[in-house]
Every structure is written in structure tokens, then in C-alpha cells.
Amino acid sequence: MHTLPSSPHPRGWSFWWKPLLFLLVAVAGLYYVKWSPYYLKSFVAAQNHSIGASIIDDHQVAPLAAALAYAQVYFLAIWKAAVLAVILGSLLQVLIPRDWLLRLFGKAGLGSTLRGGLFALPGMMCSCCAAPVAAGLRKQQVSVGAALAFWIANPVLNPATLVFMGFVLGWQFAALRLVGGIVLVFGVALIAQRIARPQTLPEPAVDAVQALSDEPTGGLLQRWAISLWQLFWSTIPVYVLAVLLLGAARVWLFPHVDGSFGQGLGWLLPMAIVGTLFVIPTAAEIPIVQTLMALGLGTAPAVALLMTLPSVSLPSLLMLRRSFDARVLWAVGGLVMVFGALWGLVGLAVL
């Protein structure tokens, strides 16, 4: 009679309290920063068919004043989410067993990429706030496709944003965004995964990582402090600088649009490019598009903005410069631009 060998690393309370602590921090933080405010905001959107004024509609003409004004409004809107993102991205590296992450997201393939996108849905973060968590995932050797799907799905497939969009712009816009978002998130992630170096993690490699993770070097607080500082230093300074630069550049990026443009396609490609580069808080694309359409912007460029503005931004791309190969980030930016323009044409045809 044969008996199964006992695990060399029995997993009792001393093991499980770390993942449970991460879950507690994540749920409490997301409830305070995202879930509760968005629940209340949905009633405002339903009643007023608006979620506020456009963040770029302050008629600034001087670049320096525009930079400072935009940075103030932007960071007041996102600072809580940014702090939570850095905390979660660092805790991820010390509280979640690496072998768990590798088994779920480690292999370069469709399954891992799909799980990365689904894992993003409760986060509801903008691209810049999702970037530190994506960087934390990559630090744990998660596959390129899964990390990219998590990063882009956070803003693009945000359930709250889709609800706001339905009440403000119409449910046809929300449906178009949902379908386009699914194609964009997983299409871009899978293509970028092919561009990156092949990544496969066979079982022996996962087991080796698990063995190493069972032998931590240094105490938990020390390792978390190191992870927190490294993540902060590699993402936040360049983030702040890029937001200031784009705040100044919006004087030229978002010129006044008048009715003479009508439904023409002249603004389609420029808006796809601007939307990919510019940085906004979560759901800010809705009042921006609402305002520009009231000024005469056509359906196609409006849909292009709805797809590209939340997906990525120059600051978020720079924040992840150490987490992905440069060619992967270039590909992501280019693919988002192209898809935004193409989906704008789809929107013009069906709306």
C-alpha cells in the first residue's frame, strides 16, 4: 500500500495570513477609493445625464498656467487611487506567493491573458494608477500578455465607466465601448506578447520559484519597504513630470472644435493620436467627449477618443519603461492609436 508523500512545506496559518492580508487591504482600499464613490456617482449620472464638467474645459492659453492648473485638478482626482496602487503593487510582491501568480498568469498564452484581464475588473483604475500594480506583477515574472491585459482592462473595461457612459452618452456608446474594449484589451495584449520574447514556465520552474519564495531574505516589513521604495521611485517621479508636460501641451492638443467640422473625418486620426498620449482620471473621457460633441466634433473622432483616452497614456507608458521591452510599449501605443481610428469608423457606421 502506497501513501502520498507529505508536503515539505505544510501551509498553515503562518502561510495563509499573508494572502488574506493582501485581500483585506485590496478590498478595503478599493471600496474606499473606487467602489463606494462610483456607486454614488452612478445615481448622479442617471439623474443628470452628466458626471461633471470636462477636465480640459478651462480655456487655458498659456502653457505654464495650463500645466499647473491641469496637474492640480488631475492629481486631486487620482491621488487616493495612485497611493493605493503603489501600496498594492508593492504588497503583491511580498504577500502573494510567486508560484500562485505564475500558475495563473505566468504562461504566454490566451488563458493567462484572459485571466489577467478578468483580474483587472474589480480595480476600475485609470491607466496610470493600474501601472504600478502591473509593474508589481511583472516584477514577479508574470507574462507580458497577462500584465498588459490587466493594465489596459482596468480603464477600458471598467464596469462603472460603462454605466456612466450609458447614462450620459447613451447605451449604444456603452455597448460600442464594451465590444471594442474587449477586442482592444486582448488583441493588443496577445500581439504584444508575440512581439516580446517567448515566455513559458514549465512546472519545474514554478516549483523552483516556490522553493525560493519559501526562504525569504529579510523580514516582511523590510522586504515591503524595499519593494515600496523601488516601485515608487521607478514610477511616480516620471509620472508627475509627464503629467505636467501634457498639461502644458493640451493648449495645442485640444484646440477649439466648432461646428464647421461636422461629421467629417479630418479629426479622426489626430484625436486617436491625442487620445493615446494624453492622460486623464478614470471616466474623464465621458465629459470630454460630451463637451467636444456639443461643440461639433463628429461621431468617428468622438468614438476614437472614447477608446484611446482611457486605454494608455504617455505617463503610463513611461511608468512601465522598466517592466516591458521598449518595442512592446511602442507596439502597445501604436496598436491603440490604430485601433482607436478604426473603431471610430465602426462607430460612424453603426451609431
Asked whether residue 165 carries a pLDDT value surpassing 70, the answer given is yes
Would you give the DSSP letter of residue 33?
Answer: I
Count Cβ atoms below 10 Å from residue 39 Cβ, excluding itself.
12
CB 192 within 8 A of CB 143: no
- pLDDT tens digits, 42-51: 999 999 999 9
Interatomic CA distance for residues 116 and 168, integer angstroms: 29
Interatomic CA distance for residues 272 and 276, integer angstroms: 6
Supply 125's cell numbers: 483604475
Interatomic CA distance for residues 116 and 105, integer angstroms: 7
Three state DSSP letters for 234-298: HHHHHHHHHHHHHHHHHHHHCCCCCHHHCCCCCCHHHHHHHHHHCCCCCCCHHHHHHHHHHCCCC
Asked whether residue 202 carries a pLDDT value surpassing 60, the answer given is no
**Average pLDDT, stretch 263-280?**
89
- pLDDT tens digits, 302-342: 999 999 999 999 999 999 999 999 999 999 999 999 999 99
Interatomic CA distance for residues 109 and 139, integer angstroms: 19
> What are the phi and psi torsion angles at 322 (to 5°)?
-95, -5
Burial class (CB in 10 A: 0-12, 13-18, 19+), 16: exposed
CB 52 within 8 A of CB 287: yes
Predicted confidence at residue 3, as pLDDT, reads 44
The structural domains of the chain, with segments of one domain joined by +, span 62-204+218-350
For residue 60, what pLDDT band results from cuts at 50, 70 and 90?
Answer: confident
